[in-house]
Structure 1
Amino acid sequence: MPATEGDTIFILVGASGDLSKKKIWPTLCNLKRDFLSKSSKFVGYARSKLTIEEIKTGVKPHFKSKTADDEAAFDDFFASSSYISGRYDEVSSFIKLSEHLASLSLESTSKGVNVNYIFYLAVPPSVFDAVTSNIKLCCMAPKGVTRVVVEKPFGHDLESSEVLSKHLATLFWEQQLYRIDHYLGKEMSQNMLVLRFGNQMFGPIWNNQSIKAVKLTFKEAIGTKGRGGYFDPSGIIRDVMQNHMVQLLCLVAMEKPPSLEADDIRAEKVKVLKRIQPVKMEDVVLGQYVGDKSKPEDSEAYQGYLDDPTVPKSSTTPTFATAVLHVNNDRWEGVPFIIKAGKGLNERKAEIRLQFKDAQGDIFSQKCQRNELVFRVQPNEAVYAKLMTKIPGMEFKLEETELDLTLTERFHGHKFPDAYERLLWDVYCGNQSSFVRSDELREAWRIFTPLLNEIDTAKHKPVDYIFGSRGPLESDELERKYDMKFSGTYTYKPSQLSKSQL
């Protein structure tokens, strides 16, 4: 049960938006069914004049229901939910919200039980200041704790991020703020601390004496799908690289924290970020996908980014980027951290790849490829070590293979919670270890803002790459510049062991 004493009301601000319908409402329903107390209540707040029944109807297509029990849980959840419509910039609307929260709290407070408020802000940046100011003015929990969950974007650059952070600091303590990056809730991200610091075998090789390069990859096999108007002002660096990918980099590069306390973990991540210099343009490749005209005209692959009617025809926004970062400390000096992210690529995956140096004293006539340790974040979470072995038989032939831990097979039957489900449970529990602290945010923006300013000002034309490809060839050339080798001779295939072999 939650570490926080008392009952809790969860208030979803922006309750009628896409994120709320597709992710937050369904996640809350699952939490209510599996973890939360029966007294938990949920309130939606948005400008749209709706009823809770209309919200329920909009959420239903996005709720994964498999059994009659799931359907009952869905109905039970919305029976404990309510909806209030109001303006984001109007104090009277938030007074009305506050009165509604007080009415929901009455039964608990009459028994002397404190009632806590969790506000989830699924609202656009344009109304963020007004919403947070009105929450502070009108809607703080009278006798319980108040927590505020903030969705990205956390600003557009270092300056705007600092303005946002200073605004929040005037309203709330850092302990009340939960800046959510859903990649920190993914199973493999959660596992990194255990895999790194709970296994002695990795310690001696986790440094520049053994590792040649680190590559972090985020690939999407889809394009903007008519959402280019939302994506275009940001681009792939702001959308994915400055936040999700940097957080994964920190998990790879950080030193062992003195404990699992949130501030100890986040302090080590900040130390890593402080040792990274701003990205230089010569260490970056920018790309923008074009349509594959060999595909059917009605397929997504046929359409390029600029064919999206919501995208300006002169847009130079990158849908792909590769950037090389350098962590200037004793452990990582000389090891390039290559971050590659893009839309409209050949597959969907996110992974962390540590490529080791060549084996010394080659006796195999240069037939050996480099060893790699790979953490597959999505899909099919796995850890596998790529290594050379002899093919069974009379001939002495070598082949790349793997030692494989595919989590879905090893832990068959275990539930793999959705990232949002895990993170919102942490909010209920008051655990901030998987949320972004203000100084983390500042350092991440410091690394990328000079590059982003140059891209925005100079309007560098991205390199074209065909929808469904691996990305621009220039990206491969940049990796080769830093001696990251890609042979193309190996494809990871999740193991399919029988129960008798397990």
Structure 2
Amino acid sequence: MEHEEYINRVTQFIKLRKNEEEEDRKKLEEFKKITNYISGQYDQDASYQTLREYIEKCENERGVKDGQRNRVFYMALPPSVFIPVAQGLKRNVYTTEGSVRLIVEKPFGKDTDSSNHLAHELGKLFKENEIYRIDHYLGKEMVKNIMNLRFANVLFGHAWNRTYIDNVQITFKEPFGTEGRGGYFDEFGIIRDVIQNHLLQVLTLVAMERPISTDAEAIRDEKVKVLKCIEPIRIENTLLGQYVGDGDKPGYKDDESLKDKDSLTPTFAAVACFINNERWEGVPFILKAGKALNEAKVEVRLQFHRVAGNLFGSSARNELVIRIQPNEAVYMKFNNKQPGLSYQTITTDLDLSYHERYTDLAIPDAYESLILDVLRNDHSNFVRDDELERAWKIFTPLLHKIDNRESDVEIKHYRYGSRGPKELDDFVKKFGYHRENANYEWPRQNVNPASNKL
């Protein structure tokens, strides 16, 4: 690319704030002036040496002193070149005159063996505290809020266990399909693309024990302990699906970039896993993710047990919902007497919607937050090597079954724009979730008592 083409490419999606456009335009122009593009080949030392010379020239022009020549390398690249690029950087651009930080974008391998190989090769080149395996879900506002909800509130802290919670669902829904990315997606599938990383990371935060401090390693230690308590996913605890066309919406196999027109790669998956420890024994954690569904949504839903000896037998279970996106929110579904002369019990909610409560506060993009963490040398929201290994061990046997098209692997079809396979409701019900009062609305009385005299 030419320099101008590069600048246009990296700035075209930068949004200017309302009422701050003029100030933001000035900042954007300043950003462009210090943003540069050096072309080179992944596997040629000469390219990295050109990069090093350019970096040193910039450092000298800016008067950067020895000991402060800090460098961050961000590898958002095809996984096949992670290792050669890391080797080229270490041989030619690594510095001992400041800190070095290497950001690695997923996927971190395709299974346990490939992930361990990547970790081993990177470990030979960079120290673990120099490596930042980035999962952008850990930078999302509501994911980072899970620890505050759990450990800063007595109410939630005491109810956060198998005594009160019947099941947990972590859901990821996209309203669009692969849209020309079928060739890439077919190599990974929805489990590798979303569940093994994003949703499993959210699960560890929901399920982990209280860390001894907010130090990065203390938090990551507890996340690893949770993963060690989860056995590999069994095929009978899995529902797999692939979307088909609906009207003018094409099916997965209609994607022109897809090479294997007989592909059995799942575009939808629901898996149930169990954490075998004192807090969570017997509580199913249901992880669901899919493309070409009916809406865009990511949420955590904790459904509580029914009230024992309930006076109001038809009342629904309580649910605590953490909506990660869109429109960040935390709300509790609870039962209440319908106002007025009726004694009917209705379901309503205690609702903290961020766009209503925090109107003057801007929520940063996940990557914005995580890159700032890198600059601060904070590993709290990044994946450690042993954490990654344990995560892959949970899913690798299932993934190999799917890859090998074993006889007990069944792919259900679902329509583009639907909620997923029709078997989904029975699947979650099997693990204890009851979709009660799914379409409840705020109550509206027919008569205003104040306007009517006896």
Q: With the length of structure 1 as denominator, give the TM-score of the two structures.
A: 0.85
**CA offset at residue 489 of structure 1?**
3.0
Q: Could you tell which deviates more after superposition, 303-312 or 129-138?
A: 303-312
Q: Could you tell which deviates more after superposition, 369-378 or 136-145?
A: 136-145
Equivalent of residue 347 in structure 2, options 387, 397, 400? 400
Matches within 5 A, 1:287-306: 287-293=241-247, 297=248, 302-306=249-253
Where does residue 473 of structure 1 map in the other structure? 422
**CA offset at residue 111 of structure 1?**
4.8
- Tell me how far apart the structure 1 counterparts of residues 110 and 70 of structure 2 sit (CA, whole Å): 32
Asked if structure 2 preserves the Cα contact closer than 8 Å seen for 1:108 and 1:114, the reply is no
- Tell me how far apart the structure 1 counterparts of residues 405 and 83 of structure 2 sit (CA, whole Å): 31
Where does residue 150 of structure 1 map in the other structure? 104
Q: Does 1:486 align with 2:440?
A: no
Asked if structure 1 preserves the Cα contact closer than 8 Å seen for 2:111 and 2:392, the reply is yes
Equivalent of residue 439 in structure 1, options 379, 382, 386? 386
Q: Does 1:61 align with 2:12?
A: yes
- Tell me how far apart the structure 2 counterparts of residues 53 and 284 of structure 1 sit (CA, whole Å): 49
From the superposition, tell whether residues 143 and 113 of structure 1 become closer, same or farther in structure 2 (CA, over 3 Å).
closer
Q: Does 1:376 align with 2:327?
A: no
**CA offset at residue 60 of structure 1?**
3.4
Equivalent of residue 136 in structure 2, options 174, 178, 182? 182
- Tell me how far apart the structure 1 counterparts of residues 263 and 245 of structure 2 sit (CA, whole Å): 15
Where does residue 42 of structure 1 map in the other structure? none
Equivalent of residue 292 in structure 2, options 332, 344, 348? 344
From the superposition, tell whether residues 367 and 255 of structure 1 become closer, same or farther in structure 2 (CA, over 3 Å).
same
**CA offset at residue 71 of structure 1?**
1.7
Asked if structure 1 preserves the Cα contact closer than 8 Å seen for 2:242 and 2:268, the reply is yes
- Tell me how far apart the structure 2 counterparts of residues 110 and 264 of structure 1 sit (CA, whole Å): 34
Q: Does 1:232 align with 2:186?
A: yes
- Tell me how far apart the structure 2 counterparts of residues 374 and 182 of structure 1 sit (CA, whole Å): 21
**CA offset at residue 56 of structure 1?**
1.3
SS in 1 for 2:316: coil
From the superposition, tell whether residues 248 and 107 of structure 1 become closer, same or farther in structure 2 (CA, over 3 Å).
same
Equivalent of residue 327 in structure 1, options 256, 260, 275? 275
- Tell me how far apart the structure 2 counterparts of residues 414 and 343 of structure 1 sit (CA, whole Å): 31
- Tell me how far apart the structure 2 counterparts of residues 125 and 402 of structure 1 sit (CA, whole Å): 44
Q: With the length of structure 2 as denominator, give the TM-score of the two structures.
A: 0.94
**CA offset at residue 468 of structure 1?**
1.1
**CA offset at residue 461 of structure 1?**
4.4
C-alpha distance after superposition, 1:189-240 (max 9, x if no partner): 1111111101111121110000100110000011111111111111000000
- Total equivalences in the alignment: 436
- One-letter amino acid of the counterpart of residue 328, structure 1: N
- Tell me how far apart the structure 2 counterparts of residues 115 and 53 of structure 1 sit (CA, whole Å): 27
- Tell me how far apart the structure 2 counterparts of residues 345 and 101 of structure 1 sit (CA, whole Å): 46
C-alpha distance after superposition, 1:93-116 (max 9, x if no partner): 111111111111114566556210
- Tell me how far apart the structure 1 counterparts of residues 392 and 66 of structure 2 sit (CA, whole Å): 45
SS in 2 for 1:217: strand
**CA offset at residue 325 of structure 1?**
0.4
RMSD across aligned C-alpha pairs, in angstroms?
Answer: 1.4
Where does residue 255 of structure 1 map in the other structure? 209
- Tell me how far apart the structure 1 counterparts of residues 190 and 65 of structure 2 sit (CA, whole Å): 51
Equivalent of residue 69 in structure 2, options 99, 105, 115? 115
**CA offset at residue 390 of structure 1?**
1.1
- Tell me how far apart the structure 2 counterparts of residues 277 and 422 of structure 1 sit (CA, whole Å): 32
C-alpha distance after superposition, 1:372-417 (max 9, x if no partner): 0010000011100001111111111121110011122211110100
**CA offset at residue 53 of structure 1?**
1.8
Where does residue 17 of structure 1 map in the other structure? none
Where does residue 447 of structure 2 map in the other structure? none
- Tell me how far apart the structure 2 counterparts of residues 110 and 272 of structure 1 sit (CA, whole Å): 44
- One-letter amino acid of the counterpart of residue 4, structure 2: E
For structure 2, the 5+ residue unaligned runs are: 443-454
**CA offset at residue 126 of structure 1?**
1.4
Equivalent of residue 199 in structure 1, options 130, 150, 153? 153
C-alpha distance after superposition, 1:276-322 (max 9, x if no partner): 000000000000011123xxx3xxxx211111111221011100000
Asked if structure 2 preserves the Cα contact closer than 8 Å seen for 1:108 and 1:115, the reply is no
From the superposition, tell whether residues 127 and 111 of structure 1 become closer, same or farther in structure 2 (CA, over 3 Å).
closer
- One-letter amino acid of the counterpart of residue 355, structure 2: T
C-alpha distance after superposition, 1:107-155 (max 9, x if no partner): 4566556210000001101111110001111111231000000000000
**CA offset at residue 368 of structure 1?**
0.4
- Tell me how far apart the structure 2 counterparts of residues 130 and 492 of structure 1 sit (CA, whole Å): 56
- One-letter amino acid of the counterpart of residue 318, structure 1: P
- Tell me how far apart the structure 2 counterparts of residues 153 and 231 of structure 1 sit (CA, whole Å): 11
SS in 2 for 1:202: helix
Asked if structure 2 preserves the Cα contact closer than 8 Å seen for 1:236 and 1:341, the reply is yes
**CA offset at residue 275 of structure 1?**
0.1
Asked if structure 1 preserves the Cα contact closer than 8 Å seen for 2:179 and 2:255, the reply is yes
- Tell me how far apart the structure 1 counterparts of residues 276 and 65 of structure 2 sit (CA, whole Å): 57
Equivalent of residue 262 in structure 2, options 314, 323, 332? 314
- Tell me how far apart the structure 1 counterparts of residues 342 and 290 of structure 2 sit (CA, whole Å): 42
For structure 1, the 5+ residue unaligned runs are: 1-49, 494-502
Where does residue 362 of structure 2 map in the other structure? 415
Asked if structure 2 preserves the Cα contact closer than 8 Å seen for 1:184 and 1:435, the reply is yes
From the superposition, tell whether residues 112 and 200 of structure 1 become closer, same or farther in structure 2 (CA, over 3 Å).
same
From the superposition, tell whether residues 271 and 492 of structure 1 become closer, same or farther in structure 2 (CA, over 3 Å).
farther
Where does residue 227 of structure 2 map in the other structure? 273
Asked if structure 1 preserves the Cα contact closer than 8 Å seen for 2:59 and 2:69, the reply is yes
**CA offset at residue 490 of structure 1?**
3.6
